[in-house]
Every structure is written in structure tokens, then in C-alpha cells.
């Protein structure tokens, strides 16, 4: 039984020595970290670093606010642009054979979805008549003349819809 006790005593002694070495290593590492921390945050240089970090955080917060405003503006612009004139087509033509020049015209103004208007002006010697026809999804509830259809097709190509 004495051999078993002797083995236990040796094992416990070895573990105690390992624990002492481990504790010494941990204290050395902790001291090194503490010295690094003290160098960073002590004295005038440390105060500057802390102020610099606080200033950086303030700057980041300000940038986040500006980014949120930019995102809001971008959403508003996307909404507005969806309803703005994106395609324009114009065809000049001679409406009457006894009138010289291509003074009459058909003008198509549409948004990206083909909603808008076709405006047609018919020029005659004594008068000019102007007509407007609403457009919804690239078509009108009114019959479109050949020139109006051509103007609408030009606007469609400008928008990029074929």
C-alpha cells in the first residue's frame, strides 16, 4: 500500500508543479496584456486615442443618418421616376395635300409602363387642330392613326420595350 501512496504523492506533486508553472504563465500573460492596455489608454496619448475612438463612433453615427436619408431619397426618386416621362416619340407629317410642308405632328409621351398621352396637331392653312388621346399600357381606348402608332413605337423603343 505504501507504493500506491507514494505514486499518488508523486502524481499530486507533479500536478501541483504543473499548476504553479501554469499560474506563472497566466500571470506573465496577464501582466503583458495589462502593460499593453496601459500604454494604449494612459497619459495624453491614451486620452487622444479614446477621444479619437469616440470621434470615430460619432462620425459613424452621422454617416448612418446620412445613409438613411439617402435611402429615403432614393426610394422617393424611384417612385417618382416610375411615373415620369421616359419615352418620347414624334412623327411629323403632311395632314392635307393642299398644305405645304410637314407641319402636322404626332407626339407620344409615356412612362416606363406605357402610360401617358399621344398629342396630335393637324395643321391646315386656316387653322390647326390639336387632339389628345390617353394611353394605358401602350394602348389607347381611342383609335390611333398610323402616325400616332409610329410615334408610340418610337417612345416604346426609347423606353426599351419591344
pLDDT tens digits, one per residue of 123-146: 988 889 999 999 999 999 999 999
Please check whether residues 10 and 72 belong to one and the same domain: yes
Please check whether residues 93 and 47 belong to one and the same domain: no
Please check whether residues 24 and 64 belong to one and the same domain: yes
Task: Please count the structural domains in the chain.
Answer: 2
pTM for the structure as a whole: 0.57
**Confidence check: pLDDT of 49 > 80:** no
Q: Enumerate the β-bridge partners of residue 132.
A: 119
Q: How far apart are the first and last CA of the chain?
A: 99
Domain span including residue 139: 87-159
How confident is residue 6, by pLDDT bands cut at 50, 70 and 90? confident
- Exposure on the CB side of residue 68, measured as CA atoms within 13 A: 6
Please check whether residues 59 and 92 belong to one and the same domain: no
**Confidence check: pLDDT of 40 > 80:** no
Please check whether residues 76 and 91 belong to one and the same domain: no
Please check whether residues 96 and 119 belong to one and the same domain: yes
Residue listed under C-alpha cell 489608454: 41
What is the rounded CA–CA span in Å between residue 141 and residue 84? 21
pLDDT at res. 96: 85
CA-closest candidate to residue 131, choices 115, 114, 146, 148 = 148
Share of the chain above pLDDT 70, in %: 93
Amino acid at each position: 500500500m505504501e507504493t500506491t501512496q507514494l505514486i499518488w504523492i508523486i502524481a499530486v506533486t507533479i500536478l501541483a508543479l504543473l499548476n504553479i508553472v501554469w499560474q506563472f504563465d497566466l500571470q506573465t500573460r496577464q501582466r503583458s496584456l495589462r502593460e499593453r492596455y496601459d500604454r494604449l489608454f494612459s497619459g495624453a496619448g491614451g486620452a487622444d486615442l479614446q477621444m479619437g475612438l469616440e470621434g470615430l463612433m460619432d462620425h459613424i453615427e452621422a454617416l448612418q443618418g446620412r445613409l438613411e436619408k439617402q435611402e429615403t431619397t432614393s426610394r422617393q426618386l424611384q417612385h417618382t421616376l416610375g411615373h415620369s416621362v421616359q419615352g418620347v416619340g414624334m412623327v411629323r407629317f403632311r395632314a392635307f395635300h393642299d398644305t405645304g410642308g410637314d407641319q402636322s405632328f404626332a407626339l407620344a409621351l409615356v412612362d416606363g409602363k406605357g402610360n401617358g398621352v399621344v398629342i396630335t396637331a393637324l395643321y391646315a392653312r386656316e387653322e390647326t387642330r390639336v387632339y389628345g388621346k390617353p394611353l394605358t399600357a401602350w394602348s389607347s381606348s381611342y383609335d390611333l392613326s398610323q402616325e400616332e402608332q409610329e410615334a408610340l413605337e418610337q417612345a416604346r423603343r426609347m423606353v426599351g420595350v419591344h
